[in-house]
Structure 1
Amino acid sequence: MSRRRTLLPLAALDRRRFLGGTLSVAAAAGLPFRSAEAQDKVVNVYNWDTYIGENTLEDFTEATGINVRYDLYGSNEELFGKLREGNPGYDVIVPTDNYVQRMRAAGMLASLDHALLPNLANLAPRFRTPSYDPELEHSVPYFWGTLGLGYRSSVGTAESLAEIFETGKWDGRIALLADVDTLRMTLKYLGYSMNSSDPAQIAEAADALIRIKSKIKTFAPDTGQDLLLSGEVDVALEFSGDVLQVMEEDPDIGYRVPKEGGQIWTDNLCIAKGAPNPANAHAFINFILEAEVHAAIAEEIQYALPNEKARALLPEEMRDDETIYPPEEVLERCELLVYQGEEVSALYEKAWTRVLAS
């Protein structure tokens, strides 16, 4: 898909309308953000594909007079790679927990001014001191969820990762994520930690994936839910909210955390180091944390809120949905990813490259 350079349109940003992962709805890669337009009226946001409410950005501009330039990415690796050589002009970015750690270590995140973020008070207590950033010095929790299996019930419920690796149940009808998270979930299948730093275990996981590549229809860039909806695959390794969205359109689709466990994650609103508009970035983050704003986004994108005041505003059936807010016995089988240094990250990247190249 082509990219368009324009101020964000008022049209909806439906998650299934953008399948390109890095499609930009407002700014092309490399856009000279510091160009002619007055920067004091702009905030430059780099976010996951379609991870915002239909009217959120329009409402922010109406409330503040600040326009939004909006770019999309499809993975943490893409985000990290884009900013590794320096910030091209982004203000707000949305890395996952372990990438908050990695980007902090690389000096890629600006410190937050809590005086400009009074709506931090809306966060649930467990999200005010996360292990990856205990003082919320560089990050604010945005949404959280799990990584598990979406499936077509008419073909068969996906109970475990072992069914993918050890049976022919979905041969040729499987979509796995096109990033290192697939390798980490394979470690879980093998009985290891998703945070393993053992080169032999990481290599074993890569070998296990290579052995079943003939079963896999595609490694999808966070679009497994769309492939389920279109009927192109019958099982997909995907993020909980993505699958929940298509479940609303097709009751044959289901989701669960596999028996072996899965990943629990938190995506975070951060300000990139060197942001041209830090005051506007703080205003954007604080606006998102407004209970009504955050709740409205959650109703659309179907992810779990770290914002307890916003969660209280959700419809009861969503607030108490165990697919969105899993019970503790499910969460106990899940792991939060931990950044373990560039040497370990390189092990994973090398093993993942080997999987893709085989």
Structure 2
Amino acid sequence: MSTNRILGTRRSLLTAMGAAAIGISFTACGQKPEGSAAKSANGEEPKLNFYNWDTYIGETTLGDFKKATGVDVNMSLFATNDELFAKLKAGNAGYDVIVPSNEFVTRMSQAGMLETLDHGKIPNFKNVDPAFVNPDYDPGRRFSMPYTWLVLGIGYRKSKVQGVPDSWKYLFDSAQYNGRIALLSESADLVRLAAKYLGHSVNNIPPDLVTKIEQMLIRQKPYVKAFHDDNGQDMLVAGDVDLVLEYNGDIAQVMKDDPDIDFVIPKEGSLINSDTLCIPQGAPRPDNAHKFINYLLDAQAGAAISKTILYPTPNAAAKALMPPAYRDNKVIFPPADIMSKCEYGAFEGAEKASLYEEVITRVRAA
């Protein structure tokens, strides 16, 4: 997940069907979550307030959870991690489970905004792939459980490019595809991937390299058609561009219907994002929250979610239940040798985040 993935890009059948058609209750983004006075056996009312990205859940998941537990899930939506952070920073308005991305797990836990998880109440943690059990952004999974993961690469139209565009050079440092390139507008992602292209880690980028990156991207700016808000797959489908910086899940979705589209993770490596399940500080129903997180990590429930949203799952037991068309898809699950060159971006403080934003603001204004 990008730190600024916007509403509507974690797409699924919910969009086409409409929430009402499948019996899910929503609140508007700005409203407070619902509460209830009735109590269940654990002393908590049989309700749970879930703060999630748009269309980022299985078609029947919330209803199935209610059937299994009697707990009614009220799901409200946020558009970006920044919005989630700001809402919770102002105080928990009644949310029980939230879905921050990896960097924001670090940021929110450091700010005292997340409850410590009781692993004894999440036995389905055993279903998680070992690669996701002990991430750098949350050692020991004290505050988060893995929900999905994503990796950035280049989506491209095969008939419009010469060979496979397997380097960040084509996006950041070349006039070859003049006016046919779209870059993701997220500032930290752009700076980090440019650093990767120049042979550095995506983290701990020194000031002189940040300056070099800014100069390179300003030189490249005339050849870039657009900075997109994570709708690059739509630009590719429409023929507006031929190469786009996008997430593997988004490109995998459109590849199903357009055999001329493909995806590559450049040879220099890339950025991994992961969306997680957390309990915010002050959650009114922590027991129900643990039950819900445990349910989402169930093999059958996890598979149902993956079938709907088509993002890579870190749930090994759920993945095993998925068809080969999903499991063996090298876009959704890139090979290990490629993934070994990819890294998570670490939260390095608000000052560094602001610096990256300023750099890309100057690039876009150039």
1:54-91 deviations in whole A, cap 9, x for unaligned? 22223223333333333334443333333333333332
Q: Is the 8 A contact 2:29 2:78 kept in 1?
A: no
Q: 133, 142, 166: which is aligned to 1:137?
A: 142
CA distance in 2, matches of 1:101, 1:283: 23
CA distance in 1, matches of 2:88, 2:46: 23
Q: Is the 8 A contact 1:188 1:261 kept in 2?
A: yes
Equivalent residue number for residue 33 of structure 1? 33
How far the C-alpha of 1:105 sits from its partner, in A, is 0.8
Stretch moving more, 108-117 or 169-178? 169-178
Equivalent residue number for residue 22 of structure 1? none
Equivalent residue number for residue 167 of structure 2? 160
Letter in 2 for 1:118: P
Equivalent residue number for residue 173 of structure 1? 180
Q: 230, 240, 252: which is aligned to 2:248?
A: 240
Residues 357 and 284 of structure 1, relative CA distance in 2, 3 Å threshold:
farther
CA distance in 2, matches of 1:278, 1:210: 48
Q: Is the 8 A contact 1:119 1:290 kept in 2?
A: yes
Stretch moving more, 283-292 or 313-322? 313-322
CA distance in 2, matches of 1:26, 1:230: 31
CA distance in 2, matches of 1:146, 1:177: 13
Letter in 1 for 2:293: I
Equivalent residue number for residue 21 of structure 1? none
Equivalent residue number for residue 183 of structure 1? 191
CA distance in 2, matches of 1:217, 1:88: 41
How far the C-alpha of 1:199 sits from its partner, in A, is 2.3
- Secondary structure at 2:160 match in 1: coil
Q: Is the 8 A contact 2:221 2:364 kept in 1?
A: no
- Secondary structure at 1:267 match in 2: strand
Residues 26 and 191 of structure 1, relative CA distance in 2, 3 Å threshold:
same
Residues 205 and 74 of structure 1, relative CA distance in 2, 3 Å threshold:
farther
How far the C-alpha of 1:34 sits from its partner, in A, is 5.3
Unaligned runs of 5+ in 1: 4-10, 19-24
Stretch moving more, 131-140 or 85-94? 85-94
Equivalent residue number for residue 76 of structure 1? 81
How large is the RMSD of aligned CA atoms in angstroms? 2.8
Letter in 1 for 2:125: L
Stretch moving more, 323-332 or 211-220? 211-220
- Would you say 1:13 and 2:21 are equivalent positions? no
Unaligned runs of 5+ in 2: 1-6, 20-24, 39-43
Residues 126 and 55 of structure 1, relative CA distance in 2, 3 Å threshold:
same
- Secondary structure at 1:59 match in 2: helix
Letter in 2 for 1:31: Q
Equivalent residue number for residue 91 of structure 1? 96
CA distance in 2, matches of 1:91, 1:343: 30
Residues 78 and 204 of structure 1, relative CA distance in 2, 3 Å threshold:
farther
1:218-276 deviations in whole A, cap 9, x for unaligned? 32222212222233322221111111111112111111101221112322111112223
Equivalent residue number for residue 7 of structure 1? none
- Secondary structure at 1:154 match in 2: helix
Residues 230 and 16 of structure 1, relative CA distance in 2, 3 Å threshold:
farther
Q: Is the 8 A contact 1:15 1:301 kept in 2?
A: no
Q: TM-score, normalised by structure 1?
A: 0.85
CA distance in 2, matches of 1:163, 1:249: 25
- Would you say 1:297 and 2:305 are equivalent positions? yes
Residues 167 and 208 of structure 1, relative CA distance in 2, 3 Å threshold:
closer
Letter in 2 for 1:133: D
Count how many residue pairs are aligned between Structure 1 and Structure 2: 343
